[in-house]
């Protein structure tokens, strides 16, 4: 059996042991990492579980980036938790302009509380050869990306990676990417971070991930859907170790910010 398959076989056992330890701590609600997004924490059963990996999946324009940055900014502003945001697609200048349209000012807290890392230029390198990717210095390698985070932002409670798509495309071997992604996620957990990352799916698609693996490796999966019939809807597809609202509910993006219509 390939090593990556062995990793995936033991993954549920690993997660279950973590959840048993977490459940033994007591009150799940009080220990949560709250997103601070109106209505969203109620869907999650109080917020994300500490040191968890959380996926936001949605089509272009669904608000994945805004959800990620709201989670990070709220952590810094409302809860005093250091955060780092890494963009691998849009430039930081474009993201800041988009955020201001919903009243999200990323400069309202200092760089020491919310670090903004623009790695969008790496997207041009996703057509690189496998030899380049396997180079020990390649910034597209997940182990190198983690080392960058660890060296510069090991004290961050919240990590946002937007998105995983350029990294996945850069890996020409799906099995290698799967095993490297697993190691990357486990390393972030060990660092003590509660991570939110995004993936893009097609408009009105019934898929919950683009590559068929990121949803399985994540502790929670939130789906953002946009349809002509129902408009914007959000659903927590899964959340390990916690009860959560399981149906689709409406959400809104306006000049007043993000709002999930659930009390």
* All structural domains of the chain: 3-260 (3.40.50.300)
Residue 110 above 80 pLDDT? yes
What pLDDT is recorded for position 13? Answer: 46
Residue 29 above 60 pLDDT? no
What pLDDT is recorded for position 136? Answer: 63
Residue 261 above 60 pLDDT? yes
What pLDDT is recorded for position 1? Answer: 52
Which residues make beta-bridge pairs with 55?
197, 221
DSSP alpha helices (H): ranges in the chain? 3-23, 40-43, 64-79, 92-100, 130-134, 142-153, 165-170, 174-191, 214-217
What pLDDT is recorded for position 123? Answer: 67
Return d(Cα 48, Cα 112) in angstroms, integer: 23
What pLDDT is recorded for position 172? Answer: 79
Return d(Cα 120, Cα 90) in angstroms, integer: 6
Task: Output 36 or 134, whichever has higher pLDDT.
Answer: 36
Instruction: Write down the pTM of the prediction.
Output: 0.86
The least confident of 47-56, 119-128, 130-139, 203-212 is 130-139
The least confident of 48-62, 166-180, 189-203 is 166-180
């Amino acid at each position: 059996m390939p090593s990556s398959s062995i990793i995936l076989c033991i993954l549920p056992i690993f997660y279950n042991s973590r959840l048993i330890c977490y459940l033994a701590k007591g009150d799940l609600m009080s220990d949560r990492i709250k997103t601070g997004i109106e209505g969203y924490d109620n869907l999650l059963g109080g917020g994300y579980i500490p040191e968890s990996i959380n996926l936001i999946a949605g089509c272009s324009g669904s608000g994945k980036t805004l959800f990620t940055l709201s989670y990070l900014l709220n952590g810094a502003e409302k809860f005093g938790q250091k955060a780092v945001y890494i963009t691998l697609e849009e430039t930081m200048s474009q993201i800041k302009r988009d955020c201001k349209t919903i009243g999200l000012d990323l400069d309202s807290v200092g760089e020491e509380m919310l670090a903004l890392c623009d790695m969008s230029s790496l997207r041009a390198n996703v057509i690189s050869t496998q030899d380049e990717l396997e180079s020990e210095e390649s910034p597209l390698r997940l182990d190198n990306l983690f080392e960058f985070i660890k060296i510069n932002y090991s004290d961050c409670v919240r990590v946002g990676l937007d998105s995983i798509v350029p990294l996945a495309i850069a890996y020409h071997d799906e099995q290698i990417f799967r095993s490297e992604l697993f190691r990357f996620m486990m390393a972030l957990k060990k660092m003590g971070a509660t991570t939110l990352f995004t993936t893009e799916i097609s408009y009105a698609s019934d898929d919950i991930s683009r590559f068929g693996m990121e949803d399985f490796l994540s502790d929670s999966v939130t789906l953002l859907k946009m349809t002509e019939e129902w408009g914007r809807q959000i659903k927590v597809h899964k959340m390990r170790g916690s009860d959560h609202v399981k149906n689709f509910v409406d959400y809104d993006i306006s000049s007043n910010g993000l709002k999930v219509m659930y009390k």
